[in-house]
Amino acid sequence: MKFKLHFQRFEMKYQIPMHLIDGLMPELLKYMEFDQYTKSWPDHAYEVHSLYYDSAGLDCYYQKLAGVKIRKKLRIRFYNLDLNPETTVFLEIKKKFDTIVIKDRFALTYQDCYQLLNYNKIPEHFLADNDKKESLNEFLWLKSYNSMRPQNIVSYKRKALISKIDPDFRVTFDYDIKTYPAEWLTNRKNPLAVNPGGAILEVKFNNVMPAWFHQIIQRYNLEQRPFSKYCSALEVCQPQLVNAVSEQNRFYQN
């Protein structure tokens, strides 16, 4: 299967209570349908797992809290917890320019990923593809230059819908978010809940948000509010961060 290497789109997030998903779904299904991955699951939801990288000083975390408009994030994404040498995983560079997101995403096997990130062995098939090689080099350069290392895994369930008319208009519901500190994809013990009872509605589109979705936003009084799964999960894993940020805010206010 071929996977798209580059994405560019607008992304907007809305924090909602879990129970609102059931209310919104019939409204959305008038104009949308479940995507090809969601359709194959009985409850129309699949699992997403991401291992996030950050510097020792947690630069990505603090840049997000400071509202830095232009920032980059590294992660490994996978969809199957039963990892074997041939399981497909994805290396991702997520570049944020305010509400515009540019994502480079390339697939490789778990075995190649392990060899690459632990022993710097680049898969031969990447060397023959200039586009993949360029993105891979950027991933490795960012990781090395910023001394980035694995921080935690974030896992959640996702319901994903695409427009019946415009397949680039996408709505996802992420819920049942869990996290654990991890140094690698297989370090998964004692998960902790993130945002219990809540869900994240995310809207992704390339050009203009359709009018019918604006009407849904108004009807349900949805308020756009940023939510970082990584930052929220990191605070669950390291509660002292919340106190440190509160102290810092008080310092700047005085």
> Domain residue spans in the chain?
6-253
Model pLDDT for residues 151-181, shown as the tens digit of each residue: 999 999 999 999 999 988 999 999 999 999 9
Confidence of residue 187 (pLDDT cuts 50, 70, 90): confident
Residue 41: predicted pLDDT: 86
Confidence of residue 244 (pLDDT cuts 50, 70, 90): low
Confidence of residue 252 (pLDDT cuts 50, 70, 90): very low
Question: Which tokens in the block code for residue 247?
Answer: 């102290």
Residue 127: predicted pLDDT: 79
Is the pLDDT score of 221 beyond 80? yes
User: Which of 31 and 82 is assigned the larger pLDDT?
Assistant: 31
User: Which of 68 and 188 is assigned the larger pLDDT?
Assistant: 68
Confidence of residue 245 (pLDDT cuts 50, 70, 90): low
Confidence of residue 116 (pLDDT cuts 50, 70, 90): very high
Is the pLDDT score of 2 beyond 80? no
pTM: 0.90
CA distances 33 to 80, 138, 163, Å, are 24, 35, 6
Alpha-carbon torsion 53, 187, 244, 196, what sign? positive
Residue 124: predicted pLDDT: 84
Give the residue-averaged pLDDT of 94-110.
88
- Cα–Cα distance, 147 to 57 (Å, whole number): 9
Model pLDDT for residues 75-101, shown as the tens digit of each residue: 999 998 889 999 999 999 999 887 788
Q: What is the CATH number of domain 6-253?
A: 3.20.100.30
Confidence of residue 5 (pLDDT cuts 50, 70, 90): low
DSSP string, 13-61: EEEEETTHHHHHHHHHTTTEEE-HHHHTSTTS-EEEEEEEEE-TT-HHH
Over the range 182-209, which residues count as b (16 or more CB within 10 Å of their CB) and which as e? Answer: beebeeeeeeeebbeebbbbbbbbeeee
For the ranges 17-21, 76-80, 133-137, 221-225, the lowest mean pLDDT is seen at 133-137
CA distances 247 to 67, 196, 233, 251, Å, are 18, 25, 20, 6
For the ranges 6-15, 35-44, 114-123, 237-246, the lowest mean pLDDT is seen at 237-246
Residue 251: predicted pLDDT: 32
Is the pLDDT score of 1 beyond 60? no
Residue 47: predicted pLDDT: 95
Is the pLDDT score of 210 beyond 70? yes
Give the residue-averaged pLDDT of 137-147.
94
Residue 6: predicted pLDDT: 57
